[in-house]
Structure 1
């Protein structure tokens, strides 16, 4: 593992919300790495601070890969209504940011055929958030 990935994985379990936010941003580009994916889902569902949830969702949405959006979908499927609102806010932040986000709807379209029902359900919710109801 690279030292940056190792540092971010360590920060993901920090008691400091600011370090967990940084970990979410730093780990987003590693969404396809199993250790990072596990940590990212934990950050998306962070029980301590909604800023961690929102910023991690934003970072993953900006990455926009199927692997990144899949993690948001998994979190959406597990989240209570309050946490889902913060996940939605993070996705929205990425969509309206100065650089926008990759085609999240295209990733959701691929996830609509995921073998895991929770992923399909979460991807459908994300599609609605983006204004694309094809999924």
Structure 2
């Protein structure tokens, strides 16, 4: 029998956008697991459906850990303008949702010291999104 992680990893490559959205939600809590992290970045940069990008970003922002926010930053660093807009929308959705969110700003602050320059720059952009949501 497949574990929840294995099932979500399998769904991440599904041709069905609804299954990929579910995979993004299910994998978000595994952001620190290398196989899940790779799949999550792929979902954040999904070229077939913006709902996958948006809802995966929202799920990761709701997790709010440094590992989760680093994946969003990695995606922002690679995203085209349209993808970046949907990533920002997903982060915004998490921040204004009824459940609130863990301290995404603190995770972004920690990422400002990441060894990868692209991650540091992208984390600064995500931090600006967070600041814009608070106003």
Q: TM-score, normalised by structure 2?
A: 0.95
Between 117-126 and 17-26, report the one with greater CA deviation: 117-126
TM-superposed deviation, 1:121: 0.9
Q: Take 2:40 and 2:71, find their aligned partners in 1: how far apart are those partners?
A: 7
Q: Take 2:52 and 2:121, find their aligned partners in 1: how far apart are those partners?
A: 23
RMSD: 0.9
Q: Give ranges in structure 2 of 5+ residues lacking alignment.
A: none
Partner of 1:32: 32
Partner of 1:100: 100
Q: Take 1:81 and 1:25, find their aligned partners in 2: how far apart are those partners?
A: 23
Partner of 2:120: 120
Post-superposition CA distance 1:59-111 (Å, at most 9, x none):
00000000000000000000011100000000000000001111111000000
Q: Take 1:127 and 1:49, find their aligned partners in 2: how far apart are those partners?
A: 25
Q: Give ranges in structure 1 of 5+ residues lacking alignment.
A: none
Classify the secondary structure of the residue corresponding to 2:131. coil
Detail structure 1 runs of 4+ shifted over 4 Å in the superposition.
none
Partner of 1:75: 75
Partner of 1:14: 14
Q: Take 1:122 and 1:89, find their aligned partners in 2: how far apart are those partners?
A: 15
